[in-house]
Amino acid sequence: MPRIARRKSTTKVYHTILRGNDRQDIFFDEQDYKKFLKEIIKTKEKYKYELYAYCLMTNHVHLVIFDKDNMISKIMQSLAVSYSSYFSKKYEKTGHLFQNRFMSKEVESSEYLINLCKYIHQNPQKAQICNVQNYKWSSYKEYIGNKKIVDTDFLLSFFGSDKSDAVNNFVKYTTNSEEGINDYVEFEFVKKMTDEQAKEKIEEILGIEEVRNIRLYNSEIRNRKIKRLKIIKGISKSQISRILGINRKIVERVLK
C-alpha cells in the first residue's frame, strides 16, 4: 500500500516526534544527547530551517520546526539516519532504532504554538524526572539564557515586546502546571481508542460492569470516578461524555 502524503502546514510550522522502535530507549548517556543536538545543528545549517522548541526524552524526541522551504521529510530523515548510524556503531545494535516514519502535526495558530511549546517543555516534569527548570535536554534553558540552536525570538514575541518582560512572562507561563490544551496536544499524538475499547478501559478502571450506571451515583462520587479516567491515553473528553451518557460540560469541568 502506498504511503499517504503528509498534510502541509499553512504556517510551515510542525510539531514532530521521533520515537524509539517499540518505545526502546534512544539515549543512554550524556554523549548520546549531545550527539543528537549536534545533528540538529548540522541539519539546520543544511536545510536552513528554524527551531522553536525541542525536548530530548529517554525514548523519544519532540521538535517544533519552521520549515520555510518545505523540507520537513528530508530534515527528519537526515536526523534519524545520522543518529541511528552513530547509535548502531556505539552500541553494536542492528535493526531500526526509530519507530516507522516520524510523527508530525501542523501548527496552524499562535495559540496552539504557545501551548504546544509549554507541553513540550513540561514533558520531563510530567514524566516525574525533574521540574521544567532543571531539565538539561530541552530548549527551555535557551529561552532563559543564551540561545545556541533555538530561534527564540518568535515565541518570545507573544509574551511581550520588551525582551526581559517577555522572558519573565514565558517562565511564569511555562512553569505553571495547570492543565488545559496541553492534554489536547498530547492526545493528538496518542493512538485514539474506539468507543468499544474506551468503554472496556473505563469499566476496568472503575470496576463496574455497566459504565452508564455511573449516572446513578451522587455528584460527588460520580465526579470522583470521572477524575480517575484522566490516566487513560487516547481518549477524549467528548468520548468519555458519550460513553458515560453524561453531559459533556460536566465531564470537561471535572477533568479540567
Percentages helix, strand, coil for the chain, rounded to the nearest 5?
A: 55, 10, 35
pTM confidence score:
0.73
Residue 120 burial (10 A CB sphere; 0-12, 13-18, 19+): buried
pLDDT at 38: 97
Q: How many domains does the chain have?
A: 2
Backbone φ and ψ of 15, nearest 5°: -100, 120
Helix, strand, or coil (residue 65): strand
Query: Is the Cβ–Cβ distance between 51 and 139 less than 8 Å?
Result: yes
pLDDT tens digits for the chain (256 residues)? 334 456 677 889 999 999 998 889 999 999 999 999 999 999 999 999 999 999 999 999 999 999 999 999 999 999 999 999 999 999 998 889 998 778 888 998 998 999 999 999 999 998 889 999 999 999 999 999 888 999 999 999 999 999 999 999 999 999 987 655 555 566 566 666 788 888 888 888 888 778 888 888 899 999 998 988 887 877 888 889 899 999 988 998 898 7
107 and 231 inside one domain: no
Grid cell in block for residue 219: 455528584
pLDDT at 2: 39
pLDDT at 189: 62
Query: Is the Cβ–Cβ distance between 158 and 114 less than 8 Å?
Result: yes
Grid cell in block for residue 250: 460536566
pLDDT at 14: 95
Residue type at 159 in one-letter notation: F
Cell 518570545, residue located? 156
130, 152, 185: which is the final residue of a domain?
Answer: 185
Residue type at 185 in one-letter notation: V
Q: How many CA atoms lie within 13 A of 136 on its CB side?
A: 8
Domain that holds residue 214: 191-255
Grid cell in block for residue 107: 501548527
pLDDT at 6: 60
57 and 170 inside one domain: yes
170, 185, 200: which is the final residue of a domain?
Answer: 185
Nearest partner of 11 among 56, 50, 53, 54, judged by Cα: 50
Name the DSSP class of 138: B
48 and 155 inside one domain: yes
129, 163, 185: which is the final residue of a domain?
Answer: 185
55 and 163 inside one domain: yes
Helix, strand, or coil (residue 90): helix
- The alpha carbon torsion through 233, 239, 245, 246 (nearest 10 deg) reads 80
pLDDT at 91: 94
pLDDT at 102: 86
214 and 155 inside one domain: no
